[in-house]
Structure 1
Amino acid sequence: MIQMLIHLLFVTFVTAAQFCIFDTENPTTCSFRDITDSTHLFRILSNNPVTSNIKKIYFQRTTLTHLPKELTIAYTALDELDASYVYLWRFTNIDFAQTTKFKKLNMSHNQIHRVSSFASNGMINLENLDLSHNMIQSIDNDGIVYNENLKYLNLSDNRIGKLDRNFFKNIRSVKILNLSNNKISSLSCETCDFEMSFEEFYLQNNQLISFNPDFIKSTFIFDVSNNAITGEIDFSNSKLIELNIRGNALQYLTINDDLEMLDASDNTERSFDISFGNNKKLISLALANLDIVHYENIFAGLHQFEKLLNLDLSENNLEFFDLKAHNLPQSLQTFNLRRTDLHSLLNWKSLYSILPNLKEINIVDNYFSCSELPSILESLQEFNVNISGLSAANDKNKFVQQNCAADSHRKRNHSKGACVQKSSNNTILWILLIICLSGYFIGAVIYANKVYNFIEKFKSINVPSMTVSPNNQSRNLIEEQDEV
């Protein structure tokens, strides 16, 4: 009997070992490979003795529809499970209460459509949950229950359209929340009676049209880029250190005094303006591709940023930029003026005194004078300023040729293209007009021809003798007209 039991345990261990491969560098990590379906995994786990030393499990070359509950029964010491890229499409009632140390769950890159009755199954110690890159459209009220230990939640790259009040109430302990790349048009919890504790909040690439800054009073890093937010937003009462709000349609933006990094590029509202308040901590400022009417209001506040290192003004219609008049901070190290339609960089001869710490500048794709640009380059190189696009392999003459003559040629081609497009539109209008006139002319010719035939027939009528009554003659004429 004892020999049979030993033999059975040995066979079970060998069978399990064929699929549970231990990491040579980390004996507490085990990987399942080449599992064909969930039933296959269930059979392996059913024959696998309870293991108390495995802390991490992941899958390779595996296809599963769900995770069998036997997984947590067999591995009681499990604290991390990576079930990404295994084609999961639903959750099962896994009892994570068996694994009291369970802290990290990765179920990203699967085909999950819905989160329902999931995290209430014993994951009281879960700290990190990744459900990104699935097909999630909705999260039930009990889909993720409150867990004071949950600090990281990633729901990015799904199809979520709306998140209700209960969702935010249940994740109020989360420090890092990623909801980017979804279809969220509104956040229903902007007036919640509980405070969120997000330190990092990512909402980029959604469909938001408004946002209440009171929702992120405790947030330090906030990314709401590439949405459709309009109107005014006031972040003056926030604790933000990094703010990315590019790709919206704001009219007015107010920043807080502690902000260090701001990206407000690609704003489509022409009346867009920024209030910098008393901020003196800004280190990086990106204001690229702003289709605004007046830049002076924004440039007037640049001098107050005594710690500013990076300034991006690329893809704006500046034409002329006066280094001295705009009172740029002397701390500036990188300056991007790429594709700003620059014809001249005023006061460039005083560059070193104006920007003594400048290390790199980008002035490519502009329309400098070909006689002035070489002198500008010499001055920049004299002060050891790195010029983007100019290197040992790309000599000065070639750079000048590409950024004055060549760009002027491109500008002419661009203007020519615009003229061609305008000419094409005019040609279409002329063709339509000619067609209309031709139709009118053809109709007039046909009508005139009928009138002419009628007159000719009238002339050819043989007038009978005077005995013919006028009434009969009129009747004959009418019949002739009817024939015509």
Structure 2
Amino acid sequence: MAKWLPPMVLIILVPTTNLENDDGSCRRHLSVLNWPQITCTNVDNSFFQHFVASPNRTHWIKCTNCSLNVIDERTFNFLKNNVSYVELQASRIRTLKRLAFNKLFLLKYLNLRKNDIDYLEPKCFTGIKRLLHLDLSFNFLKILTNNIFSDMSNLDILNLNYNQLFYIQPYAFAGLVNLKYLYINHNDLKKLEDKMFRYLPNLKILYLEHNSIVEIHQNAFFNLKNLNFLYLNNNSINFLVQYNFKPLTSLIDLQLRLNNLTEIQVSSFNGLSNLRTLHLSNNNISIVKPYGFVGLDSLKVLDLVRNKFVLIDFSYFDKMENLEVLWLNNNSISTFEISYKSEVQNSLVILDLSFNNLSMFNYKLLYSKMPNIKEVVLEKNSMNCDFFTNMYNFLQDKNVTLCVSSHCNFNETVVYIDDICSEVYVTSTDHVYNSTDFSTDCSTNFFGSTVFMFIALSLALFC
């Protein structure tokens, strides 16, 4: 008879981390998206290595006030999981090692902002091919090395704001073929290198504000044929070469506010055939070279506020057949030249010349060059009463509102006219009163003298 032996059971004791630790370090709840979430507080980088809180049923892991220091391939060693959102904000992370997140193969959102990361080890993002959003803002990155994002073909948003980036290697963005939004604000870039964005053919929005950019290579924007919005505000750009933006055939909005531009070169914006708004305010521009704005066939808004213009020639804006709004306020314009040869701007609706030094200009000729104008703003210039009131009456007859503020209120204009003409009216009125008194006195004296002479003549005849 066979002898039956009881089955042997091997029990291996492995240190584990429970969902609810004695110190209450983790808790399960619903995320803002109503998904299962585990939030852990005050844990270190070894904590998740022995994590048994059923991550396969969890979509979201969040770490608050943690001390993770180094993330490597053992940190999130989950064999099976459905984790798609990981938030490690302000977790004192210094280094991302090779394959740091490769076990999180369903990951779509990774937040690493406000850490101490100054270097990304090669292949640290390998294995997370489904990632859509990567936030590395508020770290200490100085260089982006080649192929660092090469395994992220589905990435949609990359946030690199508030780092210390001064150099981006030529192949740093390789692999990001579906990236739509790229944020590199508040870094230390000084030059946009040749073809540095070549691997971003589907990019829609590019933010490069608050850097130290001085120079833009002629081919810096090569292959950005789908870019719609480019923001270069708050840099030190002092020169634009011809055809600088030519590859950006889909660009709608270009912003170059608060730079050091002094003049608009020939064909600086040529090729931007779909551009709708161009913002050049707060530069030092005083000159527009011939054909400086050529190629802006679809432009609707041109912002030249707070520059150094003393003279404006209306011919600067030739060939802008769709221009609707022209902002020239807060310059030092004392001369507004309008030639009979200048092209007619049929589309222009708003012209703002406020806060300049204009005393007069040929407003009748100007109106003939912009026959569909609706508002002309002339607040704070040097125009006298007669000129301003004549212009006001002329434009009013043409159904054009002459404004003295950005609000363009009719009553404000009337009050303004009263103010600038008050002294003239007072002087004129005093003069009329004095003339009237004098004529009255004269007629009275003449009448008295006539009576006296008539009496004297009568006495002489009768005597």
Assess, with a 3 A threshold, how the Cα gap between structure 1 residues 135 and 338 changes in structure 2: closer, same or farther: farther
Corresponding letter in the other structure for 1:115: L
Amino acid at match of 1:22: H
Corresponding position of 1:164 = 169
* Superposed displacement of residue 77, structure 1: 1.2
Letter in 1 for 2:26: F
Deviations 1:84-127 (A, max 9, x none): 34443332456433222212222223332222235443122222
2:102 aligned counterpart, secondary structure: helix
Residues 1:224 and 2:224 aligned together: no
What residue ranges of structure 2 are gaps of 5+ in the alignment? Answer: 1-10, 12-16, 423-463
Equivalent pair of 2:179/2:203 in contact (CA under 8 Å): yes
| Cα displacement (A) at 1:49 | 2.3
- CA deviation after TM superposition for structure 1 residue 51, in Å: 2.2
1:278-357, aligned counterparts within 5 Å? Answer: 278-291=295-308, 295-296=312-313, 299-321=314-336, 329-344=345-360, 346-347=362-363, 354-356=370-372
User: Counterpart amino acid of 1:220?
Assistant: N
Q: How many residues align?
A: 391
Q: Distance in 1 between matches of 2:389 and 2:113?
A: 53
Q: Which AA in structure 1 matches 2:329?
A: S
Given that 1:31 and 1:60 are in contact with CA atoms closer than 8 Å, whether structure 2 keeps it comes out as no
Aligned residue in 1 for 2:452: none
Structure 1: distance between partners of 2:31 and 2:248: 48
* In structure 2, distance between residues paired with 1:106 and 1:56: 11
Shift of 1:369: 2.3
**Structure 1 partner of 2:55:** 51
**Could you tell me how far apart the structure 1 residues matched to 2:286 and 2:370 are?**
30
Q: Separation in 2 of the partners of 1:99 and 1:404?
A: 75
- Secondary structure at the aligned position of 1:52 is classed as helix
The answer for the alignment partner of 2:132 in structure 1 is: 127
Report if aligned partners of 1:46, 1:70 keep a CA contact under 8 Å in 2: no
1:199-214 correspondence runs (5 A):
199-204=204-209, 205-213=211-219
* 2:18 match: secondary structure: helix
Counterpart Cα distance in 2 of 1:127 and 1:210:
29
Secondary structure, in 3 states, of the residue corresponding to 1:388?
coil
| In 2, Cα distance between equivalents of 1:46 and 1:385 | 74
Specify the code of the residue in structure 1 equivalent to 2:160.
Answer: L
Q: Of the candidates 232, 242, 253, which is equivalent to residue 242 of structure 1?
A: 253
Q: Matches of 1:29 and 1:349 in 2, distance apart?
A: 69
Distance 2:101 2:50 in 1: 17
Post-superposition offset of 1:282: 1.0
Please state if 1:76 is matched with 2:85.
no
Identity of aligned residues (%): 16
- Counterpart CA distance in 2 for 1:276 and 1:198 is 25
C-alpha distance in structure 2 between counterparts of 1:345 and 1:333, whole Å: 19
Report whether the alignment pairs 1:143 with 2:151.
no
Provide the rounded CA distance (Å) in 2 between the counterparts of 1:64 and 1:374: 72
Alignment RMSD, CA only? Answer: 4.2
Provide the C-alpha distance between the structure 2 equivalents of 1:180 and 1:375, rounded to a whole number of angstroms.
Answer: 49
What displacement does 1:161 show? 1.1
Change over 3 Å in CA distance of 1:403–1:67 after alignment to 2: farther
Which residue is equivalent to 2:5?
Answer: none
TM-score where L is the length of structure 1: 0.66
More helix by share: 1
Query: What is residue 437 of structure 1 aligned with on the other side?
Result: none
Cα 1:140–1:333 change in 2 (3 A) is: same
Distance 1:107 1:403 in 2: 60
Q: In 2, Cα distance between the equivalents of 1:402 and 1:45?
A: 78
**Partner Cα distance (2:183, 2:408) in 1:** 40
**Correspondence for 1:275:** 292
Contact 2:379 2:403 in 1 (8 A): no
Distance 2:260 2:157 in 1: 27
TM-superposition CA deviations, 1:164-186 (whole Å, max 9, x none): 22314354553332223222223
8 A contact 1:389–1:399 mirrored in 2: no
- Does residue 111 of structure 2 align to residue 96 of structure 1? no
Is the aligned partner of 1:32 residue 2:39? Answer: yes
What one-letter code is carried by the residue in structure 2 that aligns with 1:288?
V
* Contact 2:344 2:369 survives alignment (8 Å): no
SS of equivalent to 2:221: helix
1:215 to 2:221 alignment: yes
Corresponding residue SS for 1:275: coil
Q: Give the Cα separation in 2 of the matches to 1:369 and 1:229.
A: 38
Q: Deviations over 1:124-159 (max 9, x none)?
A: 222222212222112333533343222332222221
In the superposition, relative to structure 1, how do residues 61 and 87 fare at CA in structure 2: closer, same or farther (>3 Å)? same
Q: Please name the residue that 1:23 is paired with.
A: 30
Deviates more, 1:77-86 or 1:271-280: 271-280
- CA distance 1:393–1:31, shift in 2 (3 Å): farther
Which of 273, 276, 282 lines up with 1:260 in the alignment? 276
Q: 1:286 to 1:193 in 2, by over 3 A?
A: closer
Three-state SS of the structure 2 residue aligned to 1:105 is: strand
Instruction: Tell me the TM-score normalized by structure 2.
Output: 0.68
Name the CA distance, whole Å, in 2 between partners of 1:306 and 1:400: 34
